[in-house]
Chain A
Amino acid sequence: NAGVTQTPKFRILKIGQSMTLQCTQDMNHNYMYWYRQDPGMGLKLIYYSVGAGITDKGEVPNGYNVSRSTTEDFPLRLELAAPSQTSVYFCASSYDGGKDTQYFGPGTRLTVL
C-alpha cells in the first residue's frame, strides 16, 4: 500500500494564480482531511470529508475549496493565491474519523510570491 500520496511536493505560485493540490489514499478510508502547517503554529484544519460527496469546513477554510467525488481522492483547490497561503499542506486519512489514527501524506510546500 502506498498510503496517502500528495502531489506536487513543491510549488511556487504567483499572486492570483490558481492550483489544485492532489491527495489520494489507498486504504479505503472514509475520512479525509486537509491541514496547513505554518511555522510555530501547529496544524490547522482547512476542510475535511466523512465520505464521498460529503465535505465540511474546518478552522481555516477561506480561500480554499475541496471536492470528494471518490473515496480515494480529496483534491484541494486554491483560487486566487495570496501570500498568506504560503504554507506546507498535509493531507490525511483515517478509518474512524477523529477517533482514530490519522495517516498523513508527505506534504506539499507551497510558496506564493
Chain B
Amino acid sequence: AQKVTQAQTEISVVEKEDVTLDCVYETRDTTYYLFWYKQPPSGELVFLIRRNSFDEQNEISGRYSWNFQKSTSSFNFTITASQVVDSAVYFCALSEESGGSYIPTFGRGTSLIVHP
C-alpha cells in the first residue's frame, strides 16, 4: 500500500476555475511532517508548504490554501482562480521517523493543466 496517495493523476481546468488536489497519507506515528512541492514544466522542484502533525490549522497563501485533516489523514491543496502559470506536477510528501531519521516518501504526483 502506498503511504502517500494522490489519486488524481491529471486534472485539466480552464483559467480562473478553482481546483483541489487531494493527498491521503498513511502512518501509525503521532509525529510526522507533510509537504507539498511543485514541479513546473522546466523540471525543478519547488517547496510550497510544510506542516507538522500537531498543527492542524489550515493555511492560506495568496491563491493557495491547504486543508489538513488528521481525522481523514488528508492534506489537500486548493488553488483559487487558477492561472496558466499554475500548470505543473504537484507532489505531496510524508516524512516519518525510521531508524532515528525522518525519511520522506513522495506521492506519485498530480499533473495540473490550466487552459487559457
A32 vs B52: C-alpha distance when bound (angstroms) = 21
Given contacts A97-B102, A99-B95, contact A104 B45 (CB under 8 A): yes
Query: Residue B108 contacts which of A40, A48, A56, A99 (CB distance < 8 angstroms)?
Result: A40
Chain A residue at minimum C-beta to C-beta distance from B46: A104
Residues of A within 8 A of B102 (CB): 97-99
Beta-carbon contact of A101 and B101 below 8 Å: no
Number of A-B contacts (CB under 8 A): 57
Residues of B within 8 A of A92 (CB): 45
A68 vs B99: C-alpha distance when bound (angstroms) = 19
A-contact 0/1 string along B52-91, CB 8 Å cutoff: 1000000000000000000000000000000000000001
A-contact 0/1 string along B101-116, CB 8 Å cutoff: 1111111110000000
Beta-carbon contact of B50 and A101 below 8 Å: yes
Beta-carbon contact of B101 and A98 below 8 Å: yes
Beta-carbon contact of B104 and A45 below 8 Å: yes
Beta-carbon contact of B103 and A48 below 8 Å: yes
CB of B41 closer than 8 Å to a CB of A:
no
Given contacts A98-B33, A99-B95, contact A106 B104 (CB under 8 A): no
User: Chain B, interface size: which category?
Assistant: 20 to 34
Beta-carbon contact of A50 and B101 below 8 Å: yes
A97 vs B104: C-alpha distance when bound (angstroms) = 9
Beta-carbon contact of A43 and B91 below 8 Å: yes
Beta-carbon contact of A98 and B50 below 8 Å: no
Given contacts A40-B9, A42-B109, contact A98 B104 (CB under 8 A): yes
B-contact 0/1 string along A30-68, CB 8 Å cutoff: 000101000011111100101000001011000000000
A102-B35, A103-B47 provided; 10 other pairs, C-beta below 8 A? A42-B4, A42-B108, A43-B91, A48-B101, A59-B105, A92-B45, A98-B95, A99-B33, A101-B50, A106-B44
Give the interface of B toward A (CB within 8 A): 4, 9, 33, 35, 37, 43-45, 47, 50, 52, 91, 95-96, 99, 101-109
Pull 12 A–B residue pairs with CB atoms less than 8 Å apart, ordered by A. A42-B106, A42-B109, A43-B91, A44-B106, A48-B103, A88-B43, A98-B33, A98-B103, A99-B95, A99-B102, A101-B50, A104-B44
